[in-house]
Copies of this chain bind each other. A is one copy, B any other.
Amino acid sequence: MTQGNRGMSFEAIIDLTNQRYDRLNLAVVNKRATPVKVLRITNGRITSGYYEQPSTVDYDGLIPGGRAIVFEAKSVASLSRFDLKNLKDHQVDYLLKCHKMDGIAFLLVEFVKQNKIYLLPYTALRYYWTAYKAKKGSSSISITDFEIHAYEVPKTRVPVDYLSVVNKLWQATGS
Binding site for B on A (CB under 8 A): 22, 25, 27-28, 30, 32-36, 38, 44-52, 55-56, 60-68, 70, 94, 97-98, 100-104
**Contacting pair A28 B65 (CB below 8 A):** no
Cα–Cα, bound, A36→B44 (Å)? 12
- What chain B residues lie within 8 Å of A22 (beta carbons)? 97
Number of copies of this chain that the complex holds: 2
**Contacting pair A66 B97 (CB below 8 A):** no
Name the residue on B nearest A54 (C-beta): B33
Please pick, from B36, B60, B64, B103, the residue contacting A36 in the complex, using a CB distance under 8 A: B36
Name the residue on B nearest A52 (C-beta): B33
Please pick, from B25, B27, B46, B68, the residue contacting A62 in the complex, using a CB distance under 8 A: B68
The 9 closest A-B pairs by CB, nearest first: A66-B102, A33-B35, A62-B68, A68-B68, A36-B36, A46-B49, A66-B103, A62-B103, A33-B33
**Contacting pair A49 B36 (CB below 8 A):** yes
Please pick, from B32, B35, B45, B66, the residue contacting A48 in the complex, using a CB distance under 8 A: B45
